[in-house]
Each structure stands twice: as C-alpha cells, then as structure tokens.
Amino acid sequence: MNRLFEPNTYRPFPSARAASTAAYDEGLRRHMLGVYRNMAVGLGITALVATLVASVPALYQPIFGTPLKWVAIFAPLAFVLFFSFRVERMTTAQARAAFFAFAAVMGLSMASIFLVFTGTSIALAFFSAATVFAAMSLWGYTTNVDLSRWSTFLMVGLIGVVIASLVNLFVGSSTLQLVFSVAGVLVFTGLTAWDTQRLKSEYLAYAGTERAEKLAVMGALSLYLNLVNLFQLLLSLFGQRDE
C-alpha cells in the first residue's frame, strides 16, 4: 500500500501547511510593523517641526501673520495629491523620503495649533485620537468581517468632509465646523479599520516583492493621515483655546 495514504504517514501535510501559515503570519507581522514604524517616524517628524516652528516667533510670525498662512494650510493637500500621482514611478526609498518630507510640511501646517490651543487640550486630543486609532486598527487587523463593502461610503464621506472643511476656511461657520468635525471623526475612525484590513490583503497579493515594501510606505501614509485628522477633529471639537 502506498504510505502516503496510511494514517500514520499523513501527518507531514498538516505540518507543512502549518509551517506555511506560520511563515505567512510572520511575514505579515513584519510588514505591518514596517507600516507602523514608518508611520511613527512620520508622526515624530511632524511633532518636531510643529513644536519648533511654534516656539520660535521668527519662524511662525512671517508665516501665520501673513498671507503665507494659506500656503502652509494648503501645502499638505497639494503634497498628498503629488505623492498619489507620482508614487508608482518612485522607488521605495524615494517614496519613503517623500512621505517624511510630507510629514515635515504637515508639521509646519499644524504649528498653528500650539498658538491657538492649550498644551493640555492638545495632549488630551492626541491621547484620545491615538486610543481610537489603536482600537480600530486592531479590530481591522483581527476581524473576519469584510470591511471593503463600506469603502464607497467611507470615500464619499471623506470627500464630503474635505470639501466642507475647505469651504469653512472661508465661511467660518461654527455650525458647519461642528457638523463636519463629527462626521469626520466617524469617517476617519472607519477608515482606520478599513485601511488596516486593506493593508493585510495587499500583503497577501504582493508578499515577497518590492511592491510590498512600497506598499508599507503608502500604507503608513494612509494610517498617518487617519490619526492626524482624528487628532485635529477631536481638538476642534473639545479643545480649549489659549486665551
């Protein structure tokens, strides 16, 4: 009798499958750690630049005390659009450098919050945003629910929030600010879970290729934007202004 079909000799096949699964899980773990590591470096750059600019009057006065403030406000959006259109032509190293450069530009744009809100409010808003982000990212990583069915709703909501926020820069309506802030918190909370699950799916498709390394940078940008926007929206909702 062929020993492949004897009960005592069939055990290596499950073991092989288990080994393959373990290798995939380890690869996925390293990939996601790379995503979060890139994201953490980006956040550190943003915090460093924002703190530096806000603490030096010679830096923030020529920017936020003049029409240059509009350049600082819109620069991150322009940078994201540029990155989105050019990333496919970049190497992984170039994409990572572009992401870190974007984080610095975002820090310049966000320096104004240190001039408007109290330090306690900023710390509490960031802690709250980080807690929500961590919980939703963990859920997105572990859940078996297919979150892609919510992608259209989330993207439409994202576009709506971006348009409303841009309009309110010129209108200055407190009611509109409240509405899009609440909607934005919901949208970016959902995007955090969806993006995390999407990154897992992309790793499955591109594991072991250079594309996977670049996706780790692009994924870091997506998660970075979710956390930063959650932070800004929570700060606008609950932050105490520095009198």
pLDDT in tens, 137-156: 999 999 999 998 888 889 89
Q: Identify whether the C-beta of residue 106 lies closer than 8 Å to the C-beta of residue 76.
A: yes
Range of the domain at 191: 3-238
Q: Residue 106 falls within a domain, yes or no?
A: yes
Strand-pair partners of 241: 117
Q: Residue 243 falls within a domain, yes or no?
A: no
Q: Residue 41 falls within a domain, yes or no?
A: yes
Q: What pLDDT, on a 0 to 100 scale, did the predictor assign at position 20? A: 63
Q: What pLDDT, on a 0 to 100 scale, did the predictor assign at position 79? A: 83
Domain count, the chain: 1
198 φ, ψ (degrees, to nearest 5): -65, -40
Q: What pLDDT, on a 0 to 100 scale, did the predictor assign at position 11? A: 43
By the 10 Å C-beta count (0-12 exposed, 13-18 middle, 19+ buried), 111 is classed as buried
CA nearest to 40, candidates 230, 224, 196, 217: 224
Buried b (16+ CB within 10 A) or exposed e, 177-214: beebbebbbebbbbbbbbbbbbbeebbeeeeeeeebbb
Q: What pLDDT, on a 0 to 100 scale, did the predictor assign at position 136? A: 96
**What does 128-181 look like in DSSP terms, one character per residue?**
HHHHHHHHHHHHHHH--S-GGGGHHHHHHHHHHHHHHHHHHHHH--HHHHHHHH
Highest mean pLDDT among 37-46, 67-76, 82-91, 167-176: 37-46
Q: How confident is the model over 8-61, as pLDDT tens digits? A: 433 444 444 454 677 777 888 889 999 999 999 999 999 999 999 999 988 888
Q: Residue 97 falls within a domain, yes or no?
A: yes
Bigger pLDDT: 166 vs 146? 146
Structure tokens that stand for 24 in this block: 């995939």
Q: Residue 168 falls within a domain, yes or no?
A: yes
Q: Identify whether the C-beta of residue 223 lies closer than 8 Å to the C-beta of residue 39.
A: yes
Q: Residue 52 falls within a domain, yes or no?
A: yes
Q: Identify whether the C-beta of residue 6 lies closer than 8 Å to the C-beta of residue 12.
A: no
Bigger pLDDT: 234 vs 87? 234
Bigger pLDDT: 65 vs 200? 200
The predicted model scores a pTM of: 0.86
Q: Residue 114 falls within a domain, yes or no?
A: yes
| pLDDT-derived band at 67, boundaries 50, 70, 90 | confident
